[in-house]
Amino acid sequence: MSTLIEQPVEARLVAAAPRMPSIPATLHYDRRDPFAVRMTFPAPATLEGVEVCWTFARELLSAGLEGPEGHGDVRVRPYGYDRTVLEFHAPEGTAVVHIHSSDVRRFLQRSTELVPLGFEHLQVNLDEDLAELMRDAR
């Protein structure tokens, strides 16, 4: 069974320009990091010209479909009939993107089939993770 889900999504960057073109992005879920999802933007879509990856809680993404969620670097909220807004806050500024809520739901459904919500802790091997942390601390 696969441990990784990658789903391309079309994101629309919200900016001062009247109509920004869509930019490609990818949602990632890995059962080896069961509480997290990642959203990656390719180098051509970023101001720095390098790939940018944001990591945040799967629970945040799920809850953000129903109402505003998040108080930190990543915030998620519904917008209109089938849009979800993700705000990414960094010292350099804030990026706001819209993606189709149906894409988010499909991604979350696939991740839930891999690791059901509430059972993420069963995927974590604390002994192995602690040993890795200790190796890195040397």
Q: For the segment 82-122, what is each residue's pLDDT rounded down to a tens digit?
A: 999 999 998 888 889 999 999 999 999 999 998 777 666 66
- Sequence-ordered strand ranges (E) for 1-138: 4-14, 22-30, 36-41, 52-57, 74-79, 83-90, 93-100
Distance of alpha carbon 9 from alpha carbon 12, whole angstroms: 10
Q: What is the pTM of this model?
A: 0.81
Order the strands of the 36-41 sheet from edge to edge: 52-57, 36-41, 22-30, 4-14, 93-100, 83-90, 74-79
